[in-house]
Amino acid sequence: MTDRPFRRLSPLTPVVRGFIVVVAAGTTVLRDVTRGDLGPAAVLLGMLLVGGGVFGIASWYRTKFWIEADELRVDTGVISRQSRRIRIDRLQGIDIVQPFVARLFGLAELRMDVAGGHAREGSLAFLPLGEARELKDLLLTHRDEVRARTAPPEARLAVEGPAPTAEGATPTPQSAPVAAVPAPPGPERVLARVDLGTLMLSTLLSVETIVLVVLGTGLLAVFVASGEWLGASAVAPLLAGLGVVLFKRVSGNYGFTVSETPAGLQVRRGLFDLTAQTITVARIQGLVVTEPLLWRWLGWSRLDVSIAGYGDSSEDEGPAPSTVLPVGQRAAVAFLARHVLAGDEVAQATLHPAPRGARWAAPVGWRYMAAGATDRLVVSREGWLTRRTHAAPHARVQSVRVTQGPWQRRLGLADLHLDSPPGPTRVRARNRVAAETREWFDVEVRVSREARRRLGRPASPSVPPSP
Amino acid sequence: MNDLFAPPGNEWRPVSPQLGRMRRTVLAVLVAVAVVVSLTAGLVLGLLGWFGSLAALWLVLGAAGWVVIGRNARSWGYAERDEDLFIKHGALFRELVAVPYGRMQFVDITSGPVEQLYGVATVHLHTASASSNARIPGLPAAEAARLRDRLTQLGEAQAAGL
């Protein structure tokens, strides 16, 4: 091999990867060996263990990574060799994930998010936690250096997209003229934290839980009333299933902390599987504030963001990488929302409700549909049980659409959609008066064009000082 | 003319009438096959009454499709503006979309075997959003190539960050 200073993953990697096999084989084989007779199952498991072990060790041995000419190179493969090059200036974010087993060994996985890639293409699993953190900081610092020295801002705009605003849009006190100097891995400031009580209560109060509990109680009542005690036991798996789902949510969001670091927003969460995720504020395409029915009485809501390249993963209410705050008081959510949108205020938008005629198109929902805009944002709200407020900056709108179905045409209504990259954000003004929709469409086409231009001008002070 | 889908400038540029012809031909072939299969099955199984009505149903559906295709094919229109492309389509479910050139990630042209037979192609503009749905089918091949080149050129000139 060559003498380049490559690094290897943690030698414990094969153990973590095959932990289940190791444990199963270990216990079975050991028991049989001590008893002195090896059954066929034990032999099979033993062979699997040995084979897997050899492969795992070989795979670990052949996996090397190093930084070379602004690229992170990862060589892998036992039988067929692969060499992956990840351009450091293309790195969008780096997450540190600790699955439960890895955590037992103090290891972590480094996941790199690359611009243009749909999936997270680069992953280094597993590294000792300290080394993972150090490598993450190193890569992010290196990225900022590369970005600062290559390409003038305009060119970067064309190639890179999110990069240029990384300087302007993060309203960190110390990162105002950040362009040239890579921010040191400085202190982080905690913006919000979710305590266990709030998290558990909020999980219990979700709409699905209520529905399930009502259903379960109903069933139970029926069985008890009819004296069919055996039937009542049928409710047990339902409740057990519910318990598992709830527990997953709580454990996934356990110890949820959002803090501000020079590299972006950092989200940390997890009871068993620890996740630390860095979100570059400049990559945020829009946000959603979700308020389920029961939360509204407590003044709680959830904040999700759309991040370019992350895709749509937040539909299933579970712990998702798009969640910036799983539950919080309105004020806390508003504060984070303002932070995420670089100082823009969602609450400033005057939302215009859908016209009365819309009740024929959406008999219940029309009361809750509303949309409006500010100088910088387009905002829409809908939902009866679960209210969602979507907001996206004009400058981030990808395309503007008007749609109209046959029934809407009869009623003289139309929908206006402001398309965002895949993610939870979906700003749309549904069931508006047709003429007004077209007017708004034309205005939005113009406004978003101007907003894009402002964004494109490198030196523009597009961000007001954060309050 | 519906105000909601009025052209931004003077007129919508229509797509090739070949689009409607192509789709109608495909439909006719499918219906013919379905009818023949149904009737054959009826003859073989001796249930000509049932399968005969099935064949009649195909014909009725085919006729409805014929009308729908005609209306849909005529509905397509696009307009190239200085900084964005407008596309409108749909007869029953109508849509109007404005795609800024600066938002385009890439443009591709597809032309399947049947489309090639009719000398048409589909130009598809991809933005970072999956829902943009900016697609123009039934463009004459030369026009499709011209449009792609122009869009690519403008897209590069006006590219904006995400």
pLDDT of residue B2: 56
Separation in Å, CA of B42 to nearest CA in chain A:
38
- Helical pair A235-252 and A196-204, crossing angle rounded to 10 deg: 140
Per-residue pLDDT, averaged over A73-92, amounts to 80
pLDDT in tens, B56-100: 999 999 999 999 999 999 999 999 988 899 999 998 899 999 999
What is the distance between the alpha carbons of residues A169 and A172, in angstroms, rounded to a whole number?
A: 9
pLDDT tens sequence across A119-148: 446 788 889 988 988 888 888 888 888 877
For the ranges A165-169, A363-367, A436-440, the lowest mean pLDDT is seen at: A165-169
Q: Which residue of B has its CA nearest to A164?
A: B161
Q: Rounded mean pLDDT of A32-50?
A: 75
> How confident is the model over A455-464, as a mean pLDDT?
46
Inter-chain residue contact A419 with B129, CB threshold 8 Å: yes
Partner-chain residue, chosen from B100, B161, B162, that has the shortest CB–CB distance to A449: B100
3-state class (DSSP) for residue A301: strand
- What percent of chain B is predicted at pLDDT more than 70? 97
User: Does the structure show a pLDDT above 90 at A408?
Assistant: yes
Residue A388 token pair: 């969602």
Check whether A354 has a pLDDT greater than 50: yes
In whole angstroms, give the CA distance from residue B115 to residue B16. 11
- A161 vs A66 pLDDT, higher one: A66
* pLDDT greater than 80 at residue A396: yes
Give the rounded percent of residues in chain A with a pLDDT score beyond 90: 19
| B154 reaches A (C-beta below 8 A) | no
Per residue, the 3-state secondary structure of A229-270, as one string, reads HHHHCCHHHHHHHHHHHHHHHHHHCCCCEEEEECCEEEEEEC
Q: Residue A163 — very low, low, confident or very high, per pLDDT cuts 50/70/90?
A: very low
Q: Average per-residue pLDDT in chain A?
A: 79
Residue A352 forms contact with B (CB below 8 Å) = no
Q: Which of A109-123, A178-192, B96-110 is predicted with the least confidence, judged by mean pLDDT? A: A178-192
Nearest-neighbour CA in chain B from A215: distance (Å)? 36
Least confident of A219-233, A256-270, A323-337, B1-15: A219-233
Check pLDDT > 60 for residue A457: no
Least confident residue range of A24-28, A403-407, B90-94, B97-101: A24-28
A409, containing H or E segment = helix A406-411
Q: Are A328 and A340 in contact (CB under 8 A)?
A: no
| Closest listed residue to residue A147, CA positions, set A166, A175, A168 | A166
For chain A, domain boundaries = 195-252, 280-456
- pLDDT above 50: residue A47: yes
Q: Are A458 and A164 in contact (CB under 8 A)?
A: yes
Task: State which residue of chain B sits closest to A444, comparing Cα positions.
Answer: B98
How far is A414 from chain B, CA to nearest CA, in Å? 8
Q: Does B82 touch chain A (CB under 8 A)?
A: no
A282: which 2 tokens?
Answer: 């400049």
User: Quick one: average pLDDT of A50-58?
Assistant: 86
Q: Across the interface, which of B93, B103, B159 has its CB nearest the CB of A405?
A: B93
Position A427 pLDDT exceeds 90 = yes
For residue A126, say if its preceding peptide bond is cis, omega within 30 degrees of 0: yes
- Determine contact: A279 vs chain B, CB below 8 A: no
Whether the CB of A445 is below 8 Å from some CB of chain B: the reply is yes
Average pLDDT rounded to a whole number, residues A443-458? 82
Q: Residue A315 — very low, low, confident or very high, per pLDDT cuts 50/70/90? A: very low
Chain A residues closer than 8 Å to B97 by CB: 399-402
Q: Are A64 and A83 in contact (CB under 8 A)?
A: no
Q: DSSP assignment, residue B1?
A: -
Q: How far is A405 from chain B (nearest CA, A)?
A: 4
- pLDDT digits over B82-93, tens only? 889 999 999 889
Residues 399-438 of A with CB under 8 A from B: 399-406, 409, 414, 417, 419-422, 426, 434-435, 437-438
Q: Decide if pLDDT at B31 tops 90.
A: yes
pLDDT at A456: 64
**Mean pLDDT in residue range B45-54:** 87
* CB pair distance less than 8 Å for A400 and B159: no
Distance from CA of B114 to the nearest CA of A (A): 29
Return mean pLDDT, chain B.
89
Pick the most confident of A47-51, A455-459, B138-142: B138-142
Give the tokens for residue B143: 């026009």
How many other C-beta atoms lie within 10 A of the C-beta of residue A48? 14
Contacts of residue A344, Cβ cutoff 8 Å, sequence gap at least 6: A338, A374, A376, A377, A393
Q: What would the CATH number be for the domain defined by B77-158?
A: 2.30.29
Give the residue on B whose Cα is nearest the Cα of A410: B92
Q: What is the ipTM of this complex?
A: 0.87
pLDDT in tens, A97-111: 888 888 888 888 888
Euclidean distance between CA atoms B138 and B18, whole angstroms: 7
Task: Identify the residue whose tokens are 């209520």.
Answer: A210
CA separation (Å) from B159 to A117, A310, A381, A449?
19, 21, 30, 12
Residue numbers in B near A398 (CB within 8 A)? 99, 103, 127-129, 132
The C-alpha atoms of residue A253 and residue A272 are separated, in whole angstroms, by 10
What are the φ and ψ backbone dihedral angles of A227, each rounded to 5 degrees?
Answer: 75, 10
Region A257-279: mean pLDDT is: 85
- A vs B: CB pairs below 8 A: 105
Q: Of the candidates B4, B128, B161, which has its C-beta nearest A421's C-beta?
A: B128
